[in-house]
């Protein structure tokens, strides 16, 4: 990530002689193993290459070559992708948003290998139900207020005929 420290180790799974020399090379913004595209960065005995404050200008391919005398023992390649700080901030905000949408605040494991993450059905169902209920209540209120036969208590017309029914016992 941009602005973070990056360290690349030139490690091998076999024993090395004591007199090794490590040459670090860099090919800007490419993914390659073609030696002629690299510029020499450092020469020494340190098998750790470190970038204290990684920026987008550091993305590219790094090559570590270990020599013993004039003989090349191993050549390793590392491709560095730098995620811009703006994208890191957006990812952090997305994670906060996702956590706030979880039911009951419970954190559920997310499979990051999946490119599509479906929302949990419970909040979606609750929101949809609430919206439909609000729609039906609004339509019912609109019908009730627009109905000309509707009368409020106390607004009774005095010309309205009253029928009285008598029941004999």
Q: Is 103 helix (H, G, I), strand (E, B) or coil?
A: helix
Domain that holds residue 14: 6-80
- State mean pLDDT over 38-58: 90
pLDDT tens-digit series, residues 15-36 = 999 899 999 999 987 777 787 8
CATH number of the domain to which 42 belongs: 2.60.40
Name the average pLDDT for the chain: 79
The answer as to whether 60 is a domain residue is yes
- Determine the Cα angle at 1 with ends 91 and 97, to 5°: 10
Question: pLDDT category, 107, cuts 50, 70, 90?
Answer: low
Which two tokens mark 56? 């987008």
Question: pLDDT category, 90, cuts 50, 70, 90?
Answer: low
Distance of CA 109 to the CA centre of its chain: 14
The answer as to whether 159 is a domain residue is no
**Dihedral pair phi/psi, residue 124, rounded to 5°:** -65, -45
The answer as to whether 125 is a domain residue is no
The answer as to whether 129 is a domain residue is no
pTM higher than the cut 0.95: no
The answer as to whether 1 is a domain residue is no
The answer as to whether 128 is a domain residue is no
Based on the structure, what is the number of domains in the chain?
1
| pLDDT over 90 (residue 7) | yes
């Amino acid at each position: 990530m941009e602005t973070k420290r990056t360290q690349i180790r030139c490690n091998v799974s076999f024993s090395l002689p004591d007199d090794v020399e490590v040459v670090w090379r860099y090919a800007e913004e490419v993914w390659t193993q073609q030696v002629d595209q690299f510029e020499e960065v450092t020469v020494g005995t340190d098998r750790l290459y470190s970038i204290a404050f990684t920026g987008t200008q550091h993305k590219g391919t790094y090559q570590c070559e270990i020599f013993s005398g004039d003989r090349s023992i191993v050549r390793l390649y590392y491709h560095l992708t730098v995620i811009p700080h703006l994208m890191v901030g957006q990812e952090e905000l997305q994670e906060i948003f996702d956590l706030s949408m979880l039911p009951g605040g419970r954190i559920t494991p997310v499979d990051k290998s999946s490119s599509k993450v479906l929302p949990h059905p419970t909040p979606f169902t609750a929101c949809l139900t609430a919206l439909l209920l609000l729609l039906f209540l609004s339509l019912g209120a609109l019908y009730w207020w627009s109905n000309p036969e509707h009368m409020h208590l106390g607004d009774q017309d005095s010309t309205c005929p009253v029928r009285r029914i008598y029941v004999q016992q």
